[in-house]
Amino acid sequence: MKKGIKYAIICFCLAICASIISVCYLFFYIPVNGSENKIIYIDKNDTPDSVFYKAQLGWRAYIINKIIPFRHARTGRYVIEPNIDFLTLYRKLRNGQQDPILLTIPSARTMENLAGAISKKIMLDSLTLINALSDEDFCRQLGYSTATLPALFIPNTYEVYWDISLKGLMARMQKENKAFWNNEREQKAKALNLSHEEICTLASIVDEETANDAEKPIIAGLYLNRLHKGMLLQADPTVKFAVGDFSLRRILGEHLKKDSPYNTYLNLGLPPGPIRIASIKGLDAVLNHRKHNYLYMCAKADFSGTHEYAATFNEHKKNARNYIRALNERNIH
């Protein structure tokens, strides 16, 4: 064979190879996203076709699907990074390599509020959550009752997957609860002779009494003093909880008569469970309470959100008169 023909054949073969390589590159490795992250959510109702549509994979997905079958859609939250190539993204979706989210557990007042906050961040719907959190058998399996269940949750931000199951979510909350109650906190709880649930209950009252973190150890110490002396706690937040109205700005005689195990003006000791999910600041305020001789507290007449404290009832009555006068002057009922 003449050298010219051999050379032509070689050139032709190289051209074919270059063409194939170019087509493969264009097919597999040309980016499918722009310069910013794009996030897609795949739920249990999605199909491979709907996944292709959400990810905007176009005609290439339907062709490659014949070679590497996309048998079913894997639920999850997927971040499509800038300039990601088609093949990498296709594999990510096909293999279910989802990206985690940050789930914040709030210091919610009710389980309904908690369920609503959680369901906005994960695939679980609020109705499924609230039905579970209000079911005695479900709570019992977790080691709680519906009254004490708020003590399970430690308000913080956690990294989880968007499609986490109800069972998985509760297992994670149990793990975080166990991590919170480390040896140091455990020893402080034993020194108080209170269970985790009782500490959470007292902390929830402290949280409702003030948003001022500096005051919380003082208020915790005051209520512990009353508990140790066998006095009624007479905590206004428990009355608001019993009445079902946290917006009350003035507790009246009719409210104090509310027949409820949560009304600490009528029932000795702590309520049956937390009146909200206690904050970490509130929990640590109980465990590291300020030691003093205060037995009474009253909101300051300047409405600063802080309190006047007293060791005797006579001192307390003086503080209370000042506060009531301020309420009347502002026509607060």
Q: What is the mean pLDDT of residues 55-73?
A: 73
What's the rounded Cα separation, in Å, for the pair 51 and 47?
A: 6
Q: Please say if the pLDDT value at position 255 is more than 50.
A: yes
What is the value of pTM for the model shown?
Answer: 0.85
Mean pLDDT of 161-179: 97
pLDDT digits (tens, 9 = 90+) for 75-103: 999 998 888 877 888 888 888 999 999 99
- Confidence band for 269, pLDDT divided at 50, 70 and 90: very high
Give the start-to-end residue ranges of the domains of the chain.
26-95, 102-180, 183-292
Going by the DSSP 8-state scheme, the letter that residue 257 receives in this structure is T
In the numeric block, the tokens 């906005």 are attached to 120
3-state secondary structure string across 113-136:
HHHHHHHCCCCCCHHHHHHHHCCH
pLDDT given for residue 19 in this prediction: 42
Answer whether 122's CB lies under 8 Å from 69's CB.
no
Q: Is 90 exceeded by the pLDDT of residue 116?
A: yes
Question: Of all residues in the chain, what percent carry a pLDDT higher than 70?
Answer: 87
Q: How confident is the model at residue 4 (pLDDT cuts 50, 70, 90)?
A: low
Residue 16 pLDDT more than 70?
A: no
3-state secondary structure of 313: helix
Q: Which residue has the higher pLDDT, 279 or 1?
A: 279
Provide the pLDDT for residue 143. Answer: 96
The crossing angle, in degrees rounded to 10, of helices 280-287 and 183-192 is 60
Question: What three-state secondary structure class fits 83?
Answer: coil
Digit-coded pLDDT (tens) for 270-328: 999 999 999 999 999 999 999 999 999 988 888 888 898 999 999 988 888 888 888 88
CA distance 154 to 185: 14
Q: State the pLDDT confidence band at 181, using cuts at 50, 70 and 90.
A: very high
pLDDT of residue 21: 46
What is the model's pLDDT at position 24? Answer: 45
Task: State the Cα–Cα distance between residues 188 and 306, nearest whole angstrom.
Answer: 26
